[in-house]
Chain A
Amino acid sequence: MTTTVSTTAALALGDDALVLSHRLGEWAGHAPVLEEEVALANIALDLLGQARVLLSLVGDEDELAYLREERAFRNVQLVEQPNGDFAHTILRQLYFSTYQHLLYAELAAGDGPFAPLAAKAVKEVAYHRDHAEQWTVRLGDGTDESHERAQRACEALWRFTGEMFRPVEGLDVDGAALEAAWLESVEGMLRRATLTVPEGPRSGAWRAGAGRQGLHTEPFGRMLAEMQHLHRSHPGASW
């Protein structure tokens, strides 16, 4: 509990939560059914709460969220990927929430600076993971079209998944063990959903992902513009 918070680690975890929260928020008013819209908004709000705590550990949350340039964000590229169709959103949720659940469980069990946050967030994230797993099975093992779309999403996002397990300065976790547990869980889920585990690379020369270094994919800039424009146009505005 006495360890100081690493800015790099707090930004990495905080930006992951903030960016995914915004992406999920984009479903408001567009989700396939009302019930699912509320579910996605709930998950987005959980993530926003985590982001606020994490960013506040290392600075002013509003300044960090609204006034940083694209290159200063440290989220993994997976979370900034556009929502796409519902299957895309669900597979992104499956990949990310499985990682986040394993990560927070490990952090909560330790005594590092993130343990108190992780202990609270791990319950929220367990639900996010359950939600994604439930839907992955239903889409994969559903109709021909839902299966095809889920398979496409599962492959399109696969190359972004290796980045989550690369070491982050100040984050005391065993990346290799985390990755092994993630692979076992996600591959098991995909098989249960009658989906084919992608063969494409998650690591090596063809892996995608340098978000932790501040390099982001093209859609991120547009997302950031939408997220930040109100605060930048009306500095200091409040309700």
Chain B
Amino acid sequence: MTNTDWPLWEVFVRSRRGLSHTHAGSLHAPDAELALRNARDLYTRRGEGVSIWVVPSSSITASSPDEKDPFFEPSADKPYRHPTFYEIPEGVKHL
């Protein structure tokens, strides 16, 4: 198995028009063009997508689990940030 030499790519698939791309998983590929094709074969076999993005995993900067509290804890007690005081008009999708 030589795929340890191949970089890792993150795959984002848009399932239909109007929605945003969603992370689907990751895969190995020697370059971006083949990563796109591998993503097509691995993640859109059952008609899941209309568009694919591939991003080198090394390009992603992720928050660290150690920073979880300072990052996310302070928002827990601020209910006024949630739009719960509005009524959603009928017929609005994707909210």
Cβ of A184 within 8 Å of any chain B Cβ, yes or no, is: no
Besides A35-B28, A38-B41, A134-B33, 5 new A-B residue pairs in contact (Cβ under 8 A), listed by A number:
A32-B1, A35-B42, A39-B41, A131-B37, A138-B31
Cβ of A33 within 8 Å of any chain B Cβ, yes or no, is: yes
A residues near B38, Cβ cutoff 8 Å = 35-36, 38-39
Cβ of A34 within 8 Å of any chain B Cβ, yes or no, is: yes
Q: How large is the interface on A (under 10, 10 to 19, 20 to 34, 35 or more residues)?
A: 10 to 19
Are B2 and A138 interface neighbours, CB within 8 A? no
Cβ of B71 within 8 Å of any chain A Cβ, yes or no, is: no
Are A33 and B37 interface neighbours, CB within 8 A? no
Are B2 and A134 interface neighbours, CB within 8 A? no
| Residues of chain A at the chain B interface (Cβ within 8 Å) | 32-36, 38-39, 42, 130-131, 134, 138
Given A38-B41, A39-B41: A33 touches B28 (CB 8 Å cut-off)? yes
Shortest Cβ gap from A2 to chain B (Å)? 33
Complexed CA–CA distance, A138 and B31 (Å): 10
Chain B, 35-67, contact with A by CB distance < 8 Å: what is the 0/1 string? 001100110010000000000000000000000
